[in-house]
Amino acid sequence: MQQVFDRPKSLKDVPYHYCPGCHHGVIHRLVAEQIDAFGLQNKTLAAASVGCSVLMYDYFDVDVLESPHGRAPAVATGLKRAMPDSFVFTYQGDGDLAAIGTAEIVHAANRGENITVVFVNNAVFGMTGGQMAPTTLEGQVTTTSPYGRSAATDGLPIRVCELLSTLEGTSYIARVAVDNMKNLKKAKAALKRAFTYQTKGWGFSLVEFLSSCPTNWKMTAEEANARVGKEMAAYFPLGVYKDVRAN
């Protein structure tokens, strides 16, 4: 019998701690598939961040350095500068990347560091119990925006892809989602492109995943999945924002 589906080699055979319906697990798989496809397992250095995905080193069978909250792009800069032939990626949530780590991501991007950023935007701080993030949608109720996010007091959600695309240092920027098969395929293609950028030495790449957090959104897995495609994608349009080597 022909086997058509298997666990990626660079993912350990252990159960995830993620909540049911959370997209972190799917995104892990997509990243691991590319590590395998590019034959990078023995060359990969990952900078884990702080958030629900801090335990990524329990799942990826590659070398991982845990970074302080928000600092993964700086840590990755150090990793890549010291080991230019390695494949370096950061895996960061929106609280990590767009709040406490804004300076680190903007400057790593602006330097054009030859690294790949996997940015998981679930519009809340997941790990700490669903507080408002810089990406929380207007009107969205969280534990620290109990009356709904207000543009007047909290500002409007930050669009990271659009922001970073304006920097000369960035090379490949895309926003994807994994809420249905069609989007999942596009997400795969975007990741593949991001990996190509780094392995060819073409500079900074970032793939933003719109992601679900059923637990903190207080929704069923299905409702949360549907919200990604409807509400989130409406404010955060999917697509490739920058691809400087597109022919």
Ligand X SMILES: Cc1ncc(C[n+]2csc(CCOP(=O)(O)OP(=O)(O)O)c2C)c(N)n1
Contact residues for ligand SF4, defined by CB under 6 A: 18-19, 22, 24, 52, 122, 126-127, 213-216
Give buried/exposed letters for 168-181 (b at 16+ CB in 10 A, else e): eebbbbbbbbbbee
100-119 mask for other proteins (x: CB under 8 A)? Answer: ---xx-xx------------
Binds 210: which of ligand X, ligand SF4, other proteins, none (CB < 5-8 Å by kind): none
User: Least distance to other proteins from the beta carbon of 74, Å?
Assistant: 4
First-to-final CA distance of the chain: 41
244 touches ligand X by CB under 6 A: no
User: Least distance to ligand X from the beta carbon of 117, Å?
Assistant: 13
Q: Name which of residues 85 to 124 contact ligand X (CB under 6 A).
A: 93-96, 120, 122, 124
Main-chain dihedrals φ then ψ at residue 93, nearest 5 degrees: -85, 180
92 touches other proteins by CB under 8 A: no
User: Least distance to ligand X from the beta carbon of 51, Å?
Assistant: 3
127 touches ligand X by CB under 6 A: yes
